[in-house]
Amino acid sequence: MTTTPADEPDDAADREATGGRVMTATTLPFLVGGFLGPVGTMSVISIYPELRDTFDASTSAVNWSLSGYLLPMALFMLVSGTIGERYGRRRVTRITFIGYAIASVLCVLAPNLGVFITARVMQGVFNAFITPLLIAGLTEQVDPSRLGRAVGIYAGFQAAGGAAAPFISGVAATVNWRWTYVIIGAVAIGLATRPPSGEPRPAASAPPIRPLLTKRMASLWLSALSAAAGPIGIGVLVGVHLRDGLGVSSATTGVILLAAGVTAIVLSPTSGHLIDSWGPRRAALVSAASVTVLTVPLGLIGAAWGLAVAWIIVAGPVAFVPVNLQHLAAVAVPDNRGGALSSVLSFRFFGHALGPVIWVPLLADDPGWAFAGAGLLGLITMGALAVATRSDPDGVGAPPADVPTPSIAHPTTPTVIRPTTAAPSSPSTNPTEEST
C-alpha cells in the first residue's frame, strides 16, 4: 500500500485508540453517516401527496425527486471514492456533509418543483461520497479481525435509515414536510465536524485506478448489479404487490416494510460476525445462494398475511448480501479502498434503479414470474462472487502493509500470513493470485 509517512502513525494510533472495538466515540459519526444517507434517499417516499399539492405537480413529475437523486448518485459513485482518497478523506467528507446540508436547505426553501428536484440532484451527488469514504475510514479504525462485524453494524445503521425515513418525513409532514430537510441538514452539519482521518496524497502517490480494472473488481461490479436488480431489490416488488395485487392498504404495507427493515437492522451485526467466523468467500456464496432460494417462490404466495410473514423473515438473509458486498469491496484494493467501494456501490445503485423497470410491469400479468425472474438473478450474483473470491478464499486482496492479516478459521486450509511486500516466487506463493 502506498502511504505517506504521516499516514501510517495516524492509522496505527486510531486503531490503538479504539482498542479494536467497533462502537466507539470515534466510529459513531461514521455509523450515523451511514444512517443519514438512506434517510435522505427515501425521505420523499411518504410525502408524495404533500409534494404534489405544494408544487401542483403530477405523481410522475414528483417521482423525479427520487430518480433525480439515485441516478447522479450512482454515476458519481464510480469516481467518488478515488477522489476522496486523492484529495483526502477528511477534507472531502467534510465538504460532502456541508454540501449535503446546503442542498437540504435548498429543499426547504424550494419555491417550485424544478428547484426542489435540482436540490435533490445535489443531495444525490454529495451522497455518492458518503458511504465509500466512511467505510474506508471505518476499515482503518477497527481491528482487521472485527472488520466484518464493523461493516455489518454499518449496514444495520443503513437499514435503520431506510426503514425510518418514511416515518421521519411522515411525522414532519403533519406540521410541514419541509421540516424533514431541516432535520437532515442539521445532522449533516454536525457530521461535518467529525470526518474520518485521511490526508491528501501527493501526486506521486495518488490512489491508482489500474487496480480497479481487474477481473476481481469486474466480478464484484457484476455481483452488485445483478443482486440489486434481483433478489436484494425485491422489496419493491413486495410493496407494490401487497398494495396493488393483494389489496393491502398503504398504512399496513408501510408497517410490513418497516417490520422487514427491523429484521435487517437486528441481523446485520450477526451477518458481519458470520463473515469474520466463516471467512469472506463462504459467507458471500452462502448469502447469495440463500436469497436466490428464498426469493424465487415469493410470488406464489396468494395470501397477504403469508407474503407479509415470509418477507419479514426473508429480509434478514437479503440484508446479508449488501454486507458481504461492502466487506469485499472494503478490502479488494488496499491502495484505493474508497475507489473500490464507490465503484461497487455505483453498480449496486444502478441495479436498484434498473430492477423495478424490468419486474414491476410483469407483476400485473404474472406475479410468480416477476418474483422468480428477480430472484433467479441471484444465480448471476453467485457466479460473480465465486470468481471474485476464487483466487483468495480467505479474503479479497491483500491487507495494507500496516494492518496485520486477521486469523480466520478455514475448513480445509490453514491460516496463512501473506507477505506485505513484493517477494520472489516461492513454493508458498499462490500461483493463481491475480496480477494487478
Q: Could you report the per-residue pLDDT of 39-89, keeping only the tens digit for each?
A: 898 888 777 778 888 999 887 788 788 878 888 888 888 878 778 878 888
Query: Residue 416 pLDDT more than 70?
Result: no
pLDDT band at 214 (very low <50, low <70, confident <90, very high): confident
Query: Residue 165 pLDDT more than 90?
Result: no
Nearest to 124 by CA among 170, 169, 68, 166: 68
In this structure, which amino acid lies at residue 176?
A: N
The answer to whether the CB of 43 falls within 8 A of the CB of 180 is yes
Q: What is the pLDDT of residue 205?
A: 57
What's the mean pLDDT in 408-414?
38
Q: What is the pLDDT of residue 122?
A: 96
Give DSSP secondary structure letters for 255-286. HHHHHHHHHHHHHHHHHHHHHHHH-HHHHHHH
pLDDT band at 406 (very low <50, low <70, confident <90, very high): very low
Query: Residue 19 pLDDT more than 80?
Result: no
Q: What is the pLDDT of residue 289?
A: 96
The domain ranges of the chain are 8-207, 210-399
Q: What is the pLDDT of residue 402?
A: 37
What's the mean pLDDT in 149-171?
79
Question: 210-399: what fold?
Answer: Growth Hormone; Chain: A; (1.20.1250)
What's the mean pLDDT in 354-374?
87
Q: What is the pLDDT of residue 436?
A: 35
The answer to whether the CB of 159 falls within 8 A of the CB of 261 is yes
Q: CA 271, CA 291: separation in Å to the nearest integer?
A: 13
* Stronger pLDDT, 199 or 36, i.e. the higher one: 36
Radius of gyration (Cα) for the chain, nearest Å?
A: 21
Query: Residue 434 pLDDT more than 50?
Result: no
pLDDT band at 371 (very low <50, low <70, confident <90, very high): very high
pLDDT band at 247 (very low <50, low <70, confident <90, very high): confident
Question: 8-207: what fold?
Answer: Growth Hormone; Chain: A; (1.20.1250)
Provide CB contacts within 8 A for 385, sequence distance 6+: 219, 220, 223, 284, 285, 288, 324, 328
Q: Is the dihedral of CA 397, 398, 399, 405 positive or negative?
A: positive
The answer to whether the CB of 157 falls within 8 A of the CB of 35 is yes
Mean pLDDT (the chain) is 79
The answer to whether the CB of 388 falls within 8 A of the CB of 281 is no
pTM: 0.67
pLDDT band at 383 (very low <50, low <70, confident <90, very high): very high
pLDDT band at 224 (very low <50, low <70, confident <90, very high): very high
The answer to whether the CB of 151 falls within 8 A of the CB of 410 is no
Cell numbers given for 177: 414536510
Number of Cβ within a 10 Å radius of residue 381: 31
Least confident window among 222-236, 299-313, 348-362, 417-431? 417-431
Query: Residue 109 pLDDT more than 60?
Result: yes
> How many residues are recorded in the chain?
436
pLDDT band at 202 (very low <50, low <70, confident <90, very high): low
Q: What is the pLDDT of residue 187?
A: 93
Least confident window among 342-346, 367-371, 413-417? 413-417
Q: What is the pLDDT of residue 94?
A: 92
Query: Residue 297 pLDDT more than 90?
Result: yes
Q: Note the Cα 346 to chain centre separation in Å.
A: 9
Least confident window among 200-204, 367-371, 398-402? 398-402
Q: What is the pLDDT of residue 167?
A: 75
Domains 8-207 and 210-399 share a fold: yes
Provide CB contacts within 8 A for 429, sequence distance 6+: 423
In terms of Cβ atoms closer than 10 Å to its own Cβ (0-12, 13-18, 19+), residue 204 is exposed
pLDDT band at 423 (very low <50, low <70, confident <90, very high): very low
DSSP state of 364: T
Query: Residue 279 pLDDT more than 70?
Result: yes
Q: Mean pLDDT: which of 88-92, 177-181, 425-429 is highest?
A: 177-181
